[in-house]
Amino acid sequence: MPNYIVAPLDTLVDRLESLPGIGHKTAQRLAYHILNMSEKDARAFASAITDAHEKIHYCRDCCNLTDGELCPVCRSDRRDRTIICVVEEPKDVFALERAGDFTGLYHVLHGTISPLAGVGPDQLKIKELLARMDSGVQEVIMATNPTVEGDATALYIARLLRPLGVRVTRLAYGIPVGGDLEYADNVTLQRALEGRRDL
Amino acid sequence: MPNYIVAPLDTLVDRLESLPGIGHKTAQRLAYHILNMSEKDARAFASAITDAHEKIHYCRDCCNLTDGELCPVCRSDRRDRTIICVVEEPKDVFALERAGDFTGLYHVLHGTISPLAGVGPDQLKIKELLARMDSGVQEVIMATNPTVEGDATALYIARLLRPLGVRVTRLAYGIPVGGDLEYADNVTLQRALEGRRDL
Judge: A12–B51 Cβ closer than 8 Å, yes or no.
yes
Strand partners, A84: A105, A140
Closest chain A residue to B36 measured between Cα atoms? Answer: A53
Largest CA distance in chain B: 71
- Confidence tier at B4 by pLDDT (50, 70, 90): low
Sequence-separated (6 or more) residues with CB below 8 Å from residue A34:
A12, A42, A45, B19, B49, B52, B53
Contact B49, B57 (CB under 8 A): no
The count of C-alpha atoms lying within 13 angstroms of the C-alpha of B171, restricted to the half-sphere facing its C-beta, is: 20
pTM: predicted TM-score of the whole model, two decimal places: 0.73
For the residues B37-47, what does the mean pLDDT come to? 93
Q: Where are the domains of chain A?
A: 7-55, 58-198
What per-residue confidence (pLDDT) applies to B194?
81
pLDDT of residue A1: 40
Higher-confidence position of B183 and B4: B183
Beta bridge partners of B66: B57
- Write the pLDDT tens digit of every residue in A104-163: 999 999 999 998 889 999 999 999 999 999 888 999 999 999 889 999 999 999 999 999
pLDDT tens by residue, A2-41:
455 678 888 999 999 999 999 998 998 999 899 889 999 9
Radius of gyration over every alpha carbon of chain B, rounded to an integer in angstroms: 22
In contact, B90 and B108? CB cutoff 8 Å: yes
Q: How many angstroms away from the CA of B173 is the closest CA of chain A?
A: 24
In terms of C-beta density within 10 A (0-12 exposed, 13-18 middle, 19 or more buried), how is residue B153 classed?
buried
Q: pLDDT (tens digit, 9 = 90+) per residue, B84-95?
A: 999 999 888 988
What pLDDT does B2 receive?
46
Alpha-carbon span B49 to B56, nearest angstrom: 11
CA B48 from centre of chain: 21
Give me the phi and psi of B179, to 5 degrees please: -80, -175
Q: Which residues of A touch B11 (CB under 8 A)?
A: 48, 51-52
Distances from the Cα of B187 to the Cα of B135, B146, B175, B192, angstroms: 38, 11, 10, 9
Pairing status of strand B65-66 against strand B57-58: antiparallel
Q: Which of B5, B20, B34 sits opposite A49 (nearest CB)?
A: B34
Indicate whether B1 pLDDT > 50: no
Segment B116-143 mean pLDDT: 92
List all residues of chain A from 165 to 184 with a beta carbon under 8 Å from chain B.
Answer: none
What CATH number was assigned to the domain covering residues B7-55? 1.10.8.420
So what's the pLDDT on residue A193? 82
Which residue type, as a one-letter code, is found at position A158?
A: A
In the predicted model, what is the mean pLDDT of residues B112-126? 92
For B160-196, write each residue's pLDDT tens digit.
999 998 999 988 888 888 777 777 788 888 888 888 8
Topology, domain B58-198: Dna Topoisomerase Vi A Subunit; Chain: A, domain 2 (3.40.1360)
The mean per-residue pLDDT over the stretch B125-136 comes to 92
| Residue among B82, B83, B96, B194 nearest B145 (CA) | B96
- Asked if B89 is an interface residue toward chain A (Cβ–Cβ < 8 A), one would say yes
pLDDT exceeds cutoff 70 at A42: yes
Q: How confident is the model at residue B3 (pLDDT cuts 50, 70, 90)?
A: low
Coil, strand, or helix at residue B93? helix
CATH fold match for the domains B7-55 and B58-198 = no
Asked if the C-beta of A72 comes within 8 angstroms of chain B's C-beta atoms, the answer is yes
pLDDT of residue A36: 87
The separation between CA A199 and the C-alpha centre of its own chain, rounded to angstroms, equals: 34
Confirm if B175 and B181 have CB atoms less than 8 A apart: yes
Please return the burial class of A182, using the count of CB atoms within 10 Å of its CB with bins 0-12, 13-18 and 19+: exposed
DSSP B177: T
Kindly report, residue by residue over B43-91, the tens digit of the pLDDT: 999 999 999 988 999 999 999 999 889 999 999 999 999 999 999 998 8
Res. B198: pLDDT tops 80? no
In DSSP notation, chain A reads: --S---HHHHHHHHHHHTSTT--HHHHHHHHHHHHHS-HHHHHHHHHHHHHHHHH-EE-TTT--EESSSS-HHHH-SSS-TTEEEEESSHHHHHHHHHH----SEEEE-SS--BGGGTB-GGGTTHHHHHHGGGS---EEEE---SSHHHHHHHHHHHHHHGGGT-EEEEPPP-PPTT--GGGS-HHHHHHHHHT----
Q: Is the pLDDT of residue A76 over 80?
A: yes
ipTM score assigned to the predicted complex: 0.74
Contact B11, A70 (CB under 8 A): no
- Does residue A172 surpass a pLDDT of 90? no
Tell me the pairing of strands A65-66 and A57-58.
antiparallel
